[in-house]
């Protein structure tokens, strides 16, 4: 099996006013003559290390179960940085959305052979990283056409954005949540019910007519369950 390559990219974000260490997965046999779909992973180190998504992509591309895809991993600094950037109440949230849409996408389009249609670009995240992936697609539907949500954090800001989005058929949603996620320990040390808000989010998306895949898995809020789900997530979004 041919393996793709991993490229380190040091990127200074004007929107965030900070230097980011990005990782870009480029599939084997990459050629600038082909337009590749793009997947942007917030919680980048987790998808790279815990999710093993590059090895999975190699396998699925080799077996022709998915089309070739470029993946860019965007890590966070610490739990405080993650919260600041990934949820609507965070102090860097708007700047992070601007970084994704106005800086990262143009950089990838300029430096790699990417498909520049919205449906050629997907965002993926777990927990709060899923939240920002969904919100980026809702905020910039002409840039991002797909959002893959693994156990997203859902609050009223998220529900309002989903409710008020005027063109639901414009973005495709992949959404999973665990039946054991009714008591999730947060990084703040508190416990929150993720399951009920996710069920409410799903019901709202169905009501509003979003194209979506939804499943409740028998598990809790950990990579033990998100990692095996990645195979189906990639196949459904990149086949």
Residue 105 has pLDDT above 90, yes or no: yes
Superfamily of domain 5-238: Alpha/Beta hydrolase fold, catalytic domain (3.40.50.1820)
* Lookup result for tokens 């179960």: 65
Residue 202 has pLDDT above 90, yes or no: yes
What contacts 103, CB < 8 A, 6 or more positions away? 11, 13, 14, 15
pLDDT tens figures, 45-100: 999 999 999 999 999 999 999 999 999 999 999 999 999 999 999 999 999 999 99
pLDDT tens figures, 118-139: 999 999 999 999 999 999 999 9
pLDDT of residue 188: 79
Percent above pLDDT 70 for the chain: 100
DSSP 3-state assignment of 186?
A: coil
- Judging by DSSP bridges, how do beta strands 184-185 and 69-74 pair with one another? unpaired
Residue 104's pLDDT band (boundaries 50, 70, 90)? very high
pLDDT of residue 189: 85
pLDDT of residue 203: 98
pLDDT of residue 116: 93
Token pair belonging to 145: 């056409």
pLDDT tens figures, 4-61: 999 999 999 999 999 999 999 999 999 999 999 999 999 999 999 999 999 999 999 9
pTM of the model: 0.97
Residue 186 has pLDDT above 90, yes or no: no
Tell me the three-class secondary structure of 14-62, residue by residue.
Answer: CCCCEEEEEEEEECCCCCCCCCEEEEEEECHHHHHHHCCHHHHHHHHHH
Which residues are bridge partners to 215 per DSSP?
Answer: 176
Helices (H), the chain: 44-45, 53-62, 79-86, 93-98, 105-111, 128-139, 156-164, 195-208, 223-238
pLDDT of residue 224: 98
């Amino acid at each position: 099996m041919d393996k793709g390559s991993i490229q380190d990219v040091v990127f200074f974000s004007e929107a965030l006013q900070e230097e980011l260490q990005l990782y870009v997965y480029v599939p084997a046999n990459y050629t600038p003559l082909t337009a590749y779909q793009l997947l942007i992973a917030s919680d980048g180190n987790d998808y790279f290390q815990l999710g093993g998504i590059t090895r999975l992509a190699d396998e699925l591309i080799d077996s022709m179960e998915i089309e070739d895809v470029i993946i860019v991993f965007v890590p966070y600094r610490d739990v405080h940085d993650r919260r600041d950037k990934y949820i609507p109440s965070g102090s860097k949230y708007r700047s992070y959305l601007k970084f994704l849409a106005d800086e990262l996408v143009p950089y990838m389009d300029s430096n790699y052979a990417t498909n520049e249609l919205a449906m050629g670009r997907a965002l993926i995240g777990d927990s709060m990283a899923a939240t920002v992936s969904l919100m980026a697609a809702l905020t910039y539907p002409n840039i991002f056409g797909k959002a893959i949500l693994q156990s997203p954090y859902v609050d009223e800001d998220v529900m309002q954005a989903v409710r008020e989005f005027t063109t639901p058929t414009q973005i495709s949603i992949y959404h999973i949540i665990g039946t054991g996620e009714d008591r999730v320990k947060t990084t703040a040390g508190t416990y929150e019910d993720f399951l009920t808000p996710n069920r409410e989010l799903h019901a709202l998306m169905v009501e509003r007519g979003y194209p979506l895949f939804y499943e409740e898995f028998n598990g809790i809020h950990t990579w033990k369950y998100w990692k095996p789900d990645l195979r189906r997530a990639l196949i459904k979004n990149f086949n």
